[in-house]
Structure 1
Amino acid sequence: MMKFLKNVGQMLLLIVITACGSSSAENAVETAGEQDSVLDKTITKSSENIDLINAVYDKFVFATDSDGKSLPETYFTANALKKLQADYEFDCEETPCYAFYALRTKRQDSNPESDGVSQIYSIDSEGNGWYVVAYSDMGWPGKTRVKILNGKIDDYQRLNQ
């Protein structure tokens, strides 16, 4: 659908520019090509960020795909790791200890009126590297803002639950 809309937009732009003269039409084709390149890079980057968020929730937050060998440094910046360490609320016998639970609700037990599944429902971009992750945390609805910087999670903020 996105490709169709891009093609329709290009066709309309070419029709309008062609009516104005041939040199303008050539410039319009170059401009449309540049816009496609920027749009493709934006879509690819957004897709990579969404894949990163899904991986982090699978490997660390919900630990549904945890192999115990995943290194947090691969997925989090130094800033986020410091914040995760500061948010850790329990005794820590083997440092470093990270509060991956800070990226989910504060609930500790499954919702008795649900199947108790933890899963992501949606990930929406807010711009400037921020994404809102909507999820079920053991059957409880939750939302967390996550900031991506240079391909890693750099910050997070639990939204009102």
Structure 2
Amino acid sequence: MKKISAILLSFSLSCFLSTTVSSLAWAGDQSISTQESKQLIGSFYNQYVFGNEELDNTDASNWGTQKFLKKLKQDYEYDCESDDCYAAYALRTGAQDGDGTSSVTSITPRSNGWYRVSYRDMGWKGVTDVKVVGVNGIPKLDDYKFVSSNVK
């Protein structure tokens, strides 16, 4: 009887945990909610990707991991007179001209901390996947990959 109770308790606990963690994005042992991840991505796009603010060493580590920041530095295409040139524009279509505003239209969870970001970039449609991880319980951008656009 004790074995059956232990098995039922174990099964119930595993069912509870599997449903509880389904809304969390895991990164090692640090987890963050989908809502926190979406908020981070949306804010980064509003401020740096489509906004007028430039990402620099003053606050870059608040937004991304070293991996993310290194990739943004490598993607920077212009002359950089300091060590804090980040290509936030790498997370958009690359359109130089267009009609319309630029804004995120949706952020959809994928797997393993990845999110699909759909947006309008000066009227052009674009999609970029962005990865979010938890670092000491704080959500951080960790990677990105351009998916598609209708820029001709």
TM range (shorter): 0.7 to 0.9
Distance 2:69 2:50 in 1: 17
Letter in 1 for 2:82: E
> Which of 1 and 2 has greater Rg?
1
Work out the percentage of aligned pairs sharing the same amino acid: 39
Distance 2:34 2:69 in 1: 22
Say which SS state the counterpart of residue 148 (structure 2) adopts: coil
Distance 2:15 2:89 in 1: 45
Say which SS state the counterpart of residue 127 (structure 1) adopts: coil
Distance 1:91 1:136 in 2: 28
If asked which structure has higher relative contact order (CA below 8 Å, sep 6+), I would say: 2
Task: Decide which structure has greater helix share.
Answer: 1
Q: Could you say which residue in structure 2 is the equivalent of 1:85?
A: 73
Distance 2:125 2:23 in 1: 33
TM-score of the pair, normalised by structure 2: 0.74
How far the C-alpha of 1:75 sits from its partner, in A, is 0.8
Task: Decide which structure has greater strand share.
Answer: 2
| Preserved contact between residue 98 and residue 122 of structure 2 (Cα < 8 Å) | yes
TM-score of the pair, normalised by structure 1: 0.70
Q: Alpha carbons of 1:47 and 1:86: their partners in 2 closer, same or farther (altered >3 Å)?
A: same
Q: Could you say which residue in structure 1 is the equivalent of 2:119?
A: 135
Distance 1:83 1:40 in 2: 28
How far the C-alpha of 1:38 sits from its partner, in A, is 2.8
Q: Alpha carbons of 1:142 and 1:40: their partners in 2 closer, same or farther (altered >3 Å)?
A: closer
Q: Could you say which residue in structure 2 is the equivalent of 1:6?
A: none
- In the TM superposition, 1:104-123 aligns within 5 A as 104-111=92-99, 116-123=100-107
How far the C-alpha of 1:41 sits from its partner, in A, is 4.7
- CA shift digits 1:78-116 (9 cap, x unpaired): 1111111111111112331011000000101123xxxx1
**Equivalent residue pairs, number:** 134
| Preserved contact between residue 55 and residue 86 of structure 2 (Cα < 8 Å) | no
- In the TM superposition, 1:10-89 aligns within 5 A as 27=9, 33-39=16-22, 41=24, 45-63=33-51, 66=53, 71-89=59-77
Q: Alpha carbons of 1:105 and 1:40: their partners in 2 closer, same or farther (altered >3 Å)?
A: closer
Q: Which consecutive unaligned segments of at least 5 residues does structure 2 have?
A: 26-31
